[in-house]
Amino acid sequence: MKIIKDYTLVMEVSQNSKDWFILTSIQKYFQVGKIYNETRGITKFRLVVKKEIINKLIPHFLNYPLEGHKLLQYSIWIKIVKMLVEEPIKTLERDNKIYNLIKKLSNL
């Protein structure tokens, strides 16, 4: 039996809760996403709506590219996004590629 996974696009930025204003500034800038407070003193800005990621976030990073380690992380993440958009039909081959990219991203 083959197991085919389902993936959700997520972009998340975390800050110490005392720096929550940074995340609210990001949310105001993009005019999308939600802010979550966690019990361990962390606040997160999270964007999960695929259309918002594609129409707001990705164009921003095309115009204002990241640098350094974040660029490396983003370059792997954007490959995953492209696969999910360009290959919407779930196949074992697609899922294996995505899994390997996620694993690579997690190891950075």
Give per-residue pLDDT as tens, 51-103. 999 999 999 999 999 999 999 999 999 999 999 988 888 888 888 999 999 99
The three-class DSSP label of residue 89 is coil
Structural domains in the chain (count): 2
Helical axes 92-106 vs 68-86, angle rounded to 10° = 170
Give the Cβ contact number of residue 45 at 10 Å.
22
pLDDT category of residue 108 using cuts at 50, 70 and 90: confident
83 plus 99 within the same structural domain: yes
> Comparing C-alpha atoms, which of 107, 79, 81, 103 is closest to residue 7?
81
| Per-residue model confidence (pLDDT) at position 102 | 94
Q: DSSP characters for 13-54?
A: EEEEGGGHHHHHHHHHHHT--EEEE-TTSEEEEEE--HHHII
This prediction has a pTM of 0.82
Over residues 16-32, the pLDDT tens digits come to 999 999 999 999 999 99
- Mean pLDDT, rounded, for 26-47: 95
Are 103 and 78 in a shared domain? yes
Domain ranges, residue 85? 66-108
- Confidence band for 1, pLDDT divided at 50, 70 and 90: low
> Is 2 inside a domain boundary?
no
Closest Cα partner for 30 from 13, 7, 16, 15?
Answer: 13
End-to-end CA distance of the chain: 32
